[in-house]
Structure 1
């Protein structure tokens, strides 16, 4: 039964990790290399992530720099950034592409908070699905006479406690992200 709980803990940790990865992609008015992680460049006919054909850095909180290793990739990287849903405009000076992160409007901040809440709710749903799977496994173990009814009930209590802990972690992460988004 402990192996079952450990498996559930690992899967719930995965849900929290996925939530944090989604939060990293949300633009908060601060530059972050995670902003361009999902941008794919058509590099000589091959879809290639920006991070695989350029060095991405954050020289200051409002600027992101992208330095392609191949000079021929500048135009393709610029085109991919403009085509992305980030709403950012790259400036190319011939040796490096600079992206200045503009301050967010109040309306955009509220939209981003809604998106963050949706990501959090998706994470909570994933955590609850893990709980349901674990409880189903406990019931089948009881049916197979591997564990007693008391052990199943104790296991379900442990699973619920684990679920509550991870839901609290998701809420804490969401509150921190919301505070970050709303900070001016």
Structure 2
């Protein structure tokens, strides 16, 4: 059981409805005007599989976002080179730095950080 005690009791209904409206959580909170009680059911095998699937989808979304960010950064760097704002050596250094950052972030995603 989770017990949520808001600083401002006027937010009780908003908190309760926000938890209830998020169907992916699968919780049915109740409130008594001062606190919100959220019963957490025991994990079943089916629920574990659902959670693994949701996490896998979020990981894939993060990978897609990272690829898009990388492409945008490389385009910006090439545009800057074309505008003579960067030299060829600077472009290669920036590309290497972008790839290093992407590798670091990919490792963090794989570790689950």
> Could you state the TM-score of these two structures normalised by the residue count of structure 2?
0.76
Q: Secondary structure at the match of 2:4?
A: strand
Larger RCO of the pair (alpha carbons < 8 Å, separation 6+)? 1
Distance 1:162 1:66, change over 3 A: closer
The whole-number CA distance in structure 2 between the counterparts of 1:133 and 1:78 is 38
User: Which of 11, 15, 27 is 1:88 aligned to?
Assistant: 27
Correspondence for 2:93? 154
Q: Secondary structure at the match of 2:3?
A: strand
1:101 maps to 2:37: no
What runs of 5+ residues in structure 2 fail to find an aligned partner?
none
Correspondence for 1:118? 57
**Contact map agreement 1:64 1:98 (CA 8 A) in 2:** yes
- Which one has the bigger strand percentage? 1
> Could you state the TM-score of these two structures normalised by the residue count of structure 1?
0.50
Correspondence for 1:167? 106
Q: Aligned-residue CA RMSD in angstroms?
A: 2.7
**Contact map agreement 2:16 2:36 (CA 8 A) in 1:** no
